């Protein structure tokens, strides 16, 4: 299968098996020429379809119970699946990307597929099947606001994936505290992969401004579609070390750490319970 067929299998396939189509099946020698294609939302079987029903993420204290841990993993798995679908949409939307960019994005999809599978396997052991709880479309809702590949890398790599440095680091510590070392290890794998993913996004945007007077922080802020702000690129703890490992400069990290607005994602009470 060529790259276009792979991206369509992932984005338009309705089953989990299709979402997890192996990237190694791509024949990179086949034609990479195709027209830009935007889809309203990913195809999903009704058993894993989107829902507007709100479900609260388990508080810290509740995670002592396996049922609540399974619920947390369900949230994490959906985030990974959304990332997979958004990256497949980016491949279809931006055929002008270079071959190296496309291969990098496919490599990231493979990582997200791995994360999804690890979460679902453990969630199943705790008695929950993916799709049993409502699945939100929050991340996907920003795809219609993305019109350039730079905006895509700003939203995905330097916002959602950068925030996951904080989330993965925070929750792996919690699961270690309560003695669930298997989930903690899964989150360590995710965390280490996310460092690479943030580094990839940083590289892509830095390349675009290397012959300009802009710095990465300034360019990143310009690229974010409303109502997204840099506040969404961090969580309840601020993982400076992971950001340093990803190659972000000390000035960029300080700008993000000091950034404040009315977005309340970092003020959720349940994180402290």
The domain limits of the chain are 66-272
Q: What are the pLDDT digits (tens) for 65-111?
A: 999 999 999 999 999 999 999 999 999 999 999 999 999 999 999 99
The C-alpha atoms of residue 17 and residue 147 are separated, in whole angstroms, by: 29
- The answer, yes or no, to whether residue 172 has pLDDT greater than 80, is yes
The C-alpha atoms of residue 197 and residue 203 are separated, in whole angstroms, by: 10
222-229 contact pairs (CB < 8 A, 24+) = 223/148, 223/150, 223/151, 223/154, 223/155, 224/151, 224/154, 224/155, 224/159, 225/142, 225/145, 225/146, 225/151, 225/155, 226/145, 227/263, 228/142, 228/145, 228/155, 228/159, 229/259, 229/261, 229/263
Distance of CA 70 to the CA centre of its chain: 19
CATH superfamily of 66-272: Ferritin, core subunit, four-helix bundle (1.20.1260.10)
What's the whole-model pTM score?
Answer: 0.93
């Amino acid at each position: 299968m060529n790259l276009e067929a792979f991206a369509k299998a992932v984005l338009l396939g309705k089953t989990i098996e299709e979402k997890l189509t192996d990237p190694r099946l791509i024949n990179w020698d086949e034609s990479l020429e195709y027209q830009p294609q935007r889809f309203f939302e990913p195809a999903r079987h009704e058993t894993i379809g989107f829902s507007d029903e709100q479900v609260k993420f388990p508080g810290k204290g509740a995670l002592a119970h396996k049922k609540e841990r399974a619920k947390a993993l369900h949230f994490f798995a959906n985030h990974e699946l959304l990332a997979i679908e958004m990256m497949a949409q980016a491949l279809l939307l931006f055929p002008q990307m270079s071959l190296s960019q496309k291969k990098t994005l496919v490599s990231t999809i493979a990582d997200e597929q791995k994360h999804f599978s690890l979460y679902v396997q453990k969630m199943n052991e705790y008695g929950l099947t993916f799709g049993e709880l409502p699945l939100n479309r929050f991340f996907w809702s920003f795809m219609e606001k993305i019109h350039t590949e730079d905006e895509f890398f700003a939203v995905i790599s330097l916002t959602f994936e950068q925030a996951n440095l904080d989330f993965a680091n925070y929750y792996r510590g919690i699961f270690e505290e309560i003695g669930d070392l298997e989930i903690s290890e899964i989150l360590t794998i995710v965390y280490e992969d996310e460092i690479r993913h943030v580094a990839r996004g940083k590289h892509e945007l830095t390349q675009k401004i290397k012959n300009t007077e802009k710095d990465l922080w300034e360019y990143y802020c310009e690229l974010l579609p409303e109502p997204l702000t840099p506040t969404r690129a961090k969580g309840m703890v601020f993982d400076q070390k992971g950001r340093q490992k990803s190659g972000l400069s000390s000035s960029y990290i300080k700008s993000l750490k000091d950034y404040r607005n009315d977005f309340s994602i970092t003020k959720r009470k349940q994180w402290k319970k």
